[in-house]
C-alpha cells in the first residue's frame, strides 16, 4: 500500500463524460474526482449505470465516437485527455495494462494463448519470435498457470474461465505497465476462482510496484483488495476514502444502504434492508441529489440542491448535505444490525415431501468418435422438498445444478431416475399430461428479457398463460393481470409498457408475476437474482420470501451466491461434478459444514465486515500461491 503522502500516479479531476444519442445528450459521468498512487489499489464501486466503467474507459481512451470528455486526467503529471490517434495508442500500450470482465471476448479464438502474448512483445518491443515465446511462458508462470509450456500452446476454448482471465492478466503486464486497470475482472468467475485471481492481482501489484484501479459492483471484492474506495451513483462520486472508512463507517446514505442490502452468512435470520426504487436513468436524472428519491434521510433540501463532496472523516468525503449530522448521531450504522428477524412458520423436514427427486441421472454422448462414452452431468441425485419450503441448490459452474433444474421443470428428459411432484412422476409424462402439470410448476430464469417477447406489452406477457389455459374472459384476465402486477409490487400502468422499458429488477418482477398467473404450487428459480444489482437483488429476495409466506409456495432456488441462497432457503444441497456432496438445514450447512468442498465454497465468500483487507494485507509468495488447476478433462 502506498503512503498517504505519495504523489498520485493517476489523477482524475472533474471528469465529465457525455454521449450524443438520438434522444439528446446523456451525461454519464459528472465531475468525478479520484486518484491512485504507485503500489495502491483504488476500487471504484457502483451498480449498473453508475458511470464507473465509463470513467475507466475515458481514462484509457476507449470511449466510442459519440462520447465526449471534459475535465482533467493526468498520468504522472501528463495530460491524457488531449492525446489522440497513434499517440494515444502508444501511450496506453506503454503505461496501462487492461483486463475486462469477459476474457473470452478479448482473446482471439484462432490463435494459441502463447502466440497472443508473444505478439504484444514482438509488436511493441521488437522481440524476436524465440524471445517473445519464452517471455510468454514466463508470464504464464508469473500469473500462476501450471505447466506454462503446455498451456502456451493451447487455444482459449481449451482453458477454464479462471485460466483465461489469468492469460489476460499476463497480456496486461507484458510491457511492465506502471498502471493496471481492471473492469469487473472477477464478475464472470466462480467464487473459489475469484479469490485466486484477486490474490494474483495483488501479488503482481506488489511485485511490480503498479498502481491498480479496479471497477466492481461487488462490495466483498472491494473490501478484500482496496486501499481506497470511490463509490459512484448516477454518474457522480458520492463517497471517497479508505476502505476501512467507506465500508465500516460510511458517510453517505447510499453506501450504508448498499451494505444493508447485502446478504450475510453471519446474519442468516435477518431481513435484508432493501433500497426502494431503482437507480435513475442517466438521461432523466432527478433534481438535487440523485439518490434522494430512494433515501430514508432525504429532506426538501435534498430534492432541490445538489450536494458537494464534504469531509465526513479524516480524509473521507461524502456528497451529502447531512453527512456530519448522520455520522455524529450514528444514523448510518443501521446496516450493522440488519433488518427484523425472519419469521419461520413453515413446516419442517418431517412434513410429507411435495417434491421427491430419486436417483436422477442425465448423460450426454460424447460423439461418434468416442462410441459408447458419455458425460454424466447429473449423477444419482436425490432430494425432497416439503410443501411450502425452499431447497437451495448451490454449486459452481458445471456442477449440474441447472441441468437438475431443467429436468425438474420438465424441460429436459432424464436418462434415468424419478421426479415426483405432488405424487406424479413427471419424468415419464408427455403431451397434454405434462401441460396439465405445468399449471402447478413454473420456472423463473436468470435473464428475464430472454424469456419475454419484445413485441408484446407487459400486460400481454403476464396474460399469456391465462390465455393459453383459458382462464376467464378477456375482462377477467385483465383484472387478474392487474392483481398479479400489484402482487409483485408493480403499478397497473406497467401493463402498457414493453420489456425494453423496464429495469432488470422490474423485468424480473414481471417474470415472477407471469409465473404466478396459474397459481402454481412449485416454482423453480434458476439464478433469479444473479444478473441484478445488489439493491435490486435484495428487493427480489424479500419479495420471494413474502410471496411464499402469503401463497404457501414451494421453491427450488438455484444459485452460486451462497449468502443469497442461505437467505431464502430452509435446506441447502451442495452440488459438485454432478453429485450432491452435502444436504442439510441451512444453519448446519453454513455453521458446521461436513464436506470439504462446502467448506471451500464458504471460505471463498467475501464479507465486508470480516474480510476487509483479506487479499490486500495477506501477500502471497510465489511458492505458497496455488496454481489454477487444470481444466477438467472430458472422459
Q: What is the DSSP string of 121-151?
A: HHHHH---HHHHHHHHHHHHHHTTBSSHHHH
Mean pLDDT of 465-492: 93
- Three-state DSSP state, 333: helix
Tell me the per-residue pLDDT of 117-157, one tens digit each, with 9 for 90 and over: 999 999 999 999 999 999 999 999 999 899 999 999 999 99
The fold adopted by the segment(s) 387-415+426-603 is Rossmann fold (3.40.50)
pLDDT at 271 over 60: yes
pLDDT at position 250: 95
pLDDT at 276 over 80: yes
Residue the block writes with cell 440542491: 305
> How would residue 630 be classed by pLDDT, with cut points 50, 70 and 90?
very low
CA atoms of 37 and 57, how far apart (whole Å): 19
pLDDT at 348 over 50: no
pLDDT at position 4: 53
Q: Which residues contact 245 (CB under 8 A, 6 or more apart)?
A: 251, 313, 314, 315, 316
pTM reported for the whole predicted model: 0.89
pLDDT at position 629: 38
pLDDT at 249 over 80: yes
Higher pLDDT, 552 or 633: 552
Q: Which residues contact 37 (CB under 8 A, 6 or more apart)?
A: 2, 3, 6, 7, 8, 9, 211
Q: What is the mean pLDDT of the chain?
A: 90
Chain center to CA of 69 = 28
Mean pLDDT of 586-609: 93
Tell me the per-residue pLDDT of 52-81, one tens digit each, with 9 for 90 and over: 999 999 999 999 999 999 999 999 999 999
pLDDT at position 338: 61
Per cent of the chain over pLDDT 90 is: 73
Mean pLDDT of 298-314: 92
pLDDT at 448 over 60: yes
Alpha helices (runs of H) in 211-316, residue ranges in sequence order: 219-225, 243-248, 253-261, 300-304
pLDDT at 49 over 60: yes
pLDDT at 372 over 80: no
Question: What distance separates the 2 farthest-apart alpha carbons in the chain?
Answer: 76
Residue the block writes with cell 458445471: 398
Indicate left, alpha or beta for 144 from its phi (over 0: left) and psi (-120 to 50: alpha).
left
pLDDT at position 350: 45
230 with 237: CB under 8 angstroms?
A: yes
pLDDT at position 267: 74
Nine-digit cell string for 553 = 409456495
Mean pLDDT of 463-490: 94
> How would residue 626 be classed by pLDDT, with cut points 50, 70 and 90?
very low
pLDDT at 335 over 80: no
282 with 290: CB under 8 angstroms?
A: no
Residue ranges of E strands in 528-620: 554-559, 571-576, 579-585
Tell me whether residue 110 is exposed, middle or buried, using C-beta atoms within 10 angstroms of its C-beta: 0 to 12, 13 to 18, 19 or more: exposed
pLDDT at position 628: 38
Tell me the per-residue pLDDT of 82-119, one tens digit each, with 9 for 90 and over: 888 889 989 999 999 999 988 888 899 999 999 999 99
CA atoms of 434 and 427, how far apart (whole Å): 9
Tell me the per-residue pLDDT of 411-431, one tens digit each, with 9 for 90 and over: 899 999 999 999 999 887 877
Do 8-248 and 387-415+426-603 fold alike per CATH? Answer: yes
Q: So where are the chain's domains?
A: 8-248, 253-337, 387-415+426-603
Least confident of 68-72, 93-97, 342-346, 397-401: 342-346
For residue 79, give Cα distances in angstroms to 18, 64, 472. 19, 20, 67
Mean pLDDT of 357-373: 82
pLDDT at position 391: 97
pLDDT at 625 over 90: no
pLDDT at 373 over 60: yes
CATH placement of domain 8-248: 3.40.50.300
pLDDT at 339 over 70: no
> How would residue 182 be classed by pLDDT, with cut points 50, 70 and 90?
very high
Amino acid at each position: 500500500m502506498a503512503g498517504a503522502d505519495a504523489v498520485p500516479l493517476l489523477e482524475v479531476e472533474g471528469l465529465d463524460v457525455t454521449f450524443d444519442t438520438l434522444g439528446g445528450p446523456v451525461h454519464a459521468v459528472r465531475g468525478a474526482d479520484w486518484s491512485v498512487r504507485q503500489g495502491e489499489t483504488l476500487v471504484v464501486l457502483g451498480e449498473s449505470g453508475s458511470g464507473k466503467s465509463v470513467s475507466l474507459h475515458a481514462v484509457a481512451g476507449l470511449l466510442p465516437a459519440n462520447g465526449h470528455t471534459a475535465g482533467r486526467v493526468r498520468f504522472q503529471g501528463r495530460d491524457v485527455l488531449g492525446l489522440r490517434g497513434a499517440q494515444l495508442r502508444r501511450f496506453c500500450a506503454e503505461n496501462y495494462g487492461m483486463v475486462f470482465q469477459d476474457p473470452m471476448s478479448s482473446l482471439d479464438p484462432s490463435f494459441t494463448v502463447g502466440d497472443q502474448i508473444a505478439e504484444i512483445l514482438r509488436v511493441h518491443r521488437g522481440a524476436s519470435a524465440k524471445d517473445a515465446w519464452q517471455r510468454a511462458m514466463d508470464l504464464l508462470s508469473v500469473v500462476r498457470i501450471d505447466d506454462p509450456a503446455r498451456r502456451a500452446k493451447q487455444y482459449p476454448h481449451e482453458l477454464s474461465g479462471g485460466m483465461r482471465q489469468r492469460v489476460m492478466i499476463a497480456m496486461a503486464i507484458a510491457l511492465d505497465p506502471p498502471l493496471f486497470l481492471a473492469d469487473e475482472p472477477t464478475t464472470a468467475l466462480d467464487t473459489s476462482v475469484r479469490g485466486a485471481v484477486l490474490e494474483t492481482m495483488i501479488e503482481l501489484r506488489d511485485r511490480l510496484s503498479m498502481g491498480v484501479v479496479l471497477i466492481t459492483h461487488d462490495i466483498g471484492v472491494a473490501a478484500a483488495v482496496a486501499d481506497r474506495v470511490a463509490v459512484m451513483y448516477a454518474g457522480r462520486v458520492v463517497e471517497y476514502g479508505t476502505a476501512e472508512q467507506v465500508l465500516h463507517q460510511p458517510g453517505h446514505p447510499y453506501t450504508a444502504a448498499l451494505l444493508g442490502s447485502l446478504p450475510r452468512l453471519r446474519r442468516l435470520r435477518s431481513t435484508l434492508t432493501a433500497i426502494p426504487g431503482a437507480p435513475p436513468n442517466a438521461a432523466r436524472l432527478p433534481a438535487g441529489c440523485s439518490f434522494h428519491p430512494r433515501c430514508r434521510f432525504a429532506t426538501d433540501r435534498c430534492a432541490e440542491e445538489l450536494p458537494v463532496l464534504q469531509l465526513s472523516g479524516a480524509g473521507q468525503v461524502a456528497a451529502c448535505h447531512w453527512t456530519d449530522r448522520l455520522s455524529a448521531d450514528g444514523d448510518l450504522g443501521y446496516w450493522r444490525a440488519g433488518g427484523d428477524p425472519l419469521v419461520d412458520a413453515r413446516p419442517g423436514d418431517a412434513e410429507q415431501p411435495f417434491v421427491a427427486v430419486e436417483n436422477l441421472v442425465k448423460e450426454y454422448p460424447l460423439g461418434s468418435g468416442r462410441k459408447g462414452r458419455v458425460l454424466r452431468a447429473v449423477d444419482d441425485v436425490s432430494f425432497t422438498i416439503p410443501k411450502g419450503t425452499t431447497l437451495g441448490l448451490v454449486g459452481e459452474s458445471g456442477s449440474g445444478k441447472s441441468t437438475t433444474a431443467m429436468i425438474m421443470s420438465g424441460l429436459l428428459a432424464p436418462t434415468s431416475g424419478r421426479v415426483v411432484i405432488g405424487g406424479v412422476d413427471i419424468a415419464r409424462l408427455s403431451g397434454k399430461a405434462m401441460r396439465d402439470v405445468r399449471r402447478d410448476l413454473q420456472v423463473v430464469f436468470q435473464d428475464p428479457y430472454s424469456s419475454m417477447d419484445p413485441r408484446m406489452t407487459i400486460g400481454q406477457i403476464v396474460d399469456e398463460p391465462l390465455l393459453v389455459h383459458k382462464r376467464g374472459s378477456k375482462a377477467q384476465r385483465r383484472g387478474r393481470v392487474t392483481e398479479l402486477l400489484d402482487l409483485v409490487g408493480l403499478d397497473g400502468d406497467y401493463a402498457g409498457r414493453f420489456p425494453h422499458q423496464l429495469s432488470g429488477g422490474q423485468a424480473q418482477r414481471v417474470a415472477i408475476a407471469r409465473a404466478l398467473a396459474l397459481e402454481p404450487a412449485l416454482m423453480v428459480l434458476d439464478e433469479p437474482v444473479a444478473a441484478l444489482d445488489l439493491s435490486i437483488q435484495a428487493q427480489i429476495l424479500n419479495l420471494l420470501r413474502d410471496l411464499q409466506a402469503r401463497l404457501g409456495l414451494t421453491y427450488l432456488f438455484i444459485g452460486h451466491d451462497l449468502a443469497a441462497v442461505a437467505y431464502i432457503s430452509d435446506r441447502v444441497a451442495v452440488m459438485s461434478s454432478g453429485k450432491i456432496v452435502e444436504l442439510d438445514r441451512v444453519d448446519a450447512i453454513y455453521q458446521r459444514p461436513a464436506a470439504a468442498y462446502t467448506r471451500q465454497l464458504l471460505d471463498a465468500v467475501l464479507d465486508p465486515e470480516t474480510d476487509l483487507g483479506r487479499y490486500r494485507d495477506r501477500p502471497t509468495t510465489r511458492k505458497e500461491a496455488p496454481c489454477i488447476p487444470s481444466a477438467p478433462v472430458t472422459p
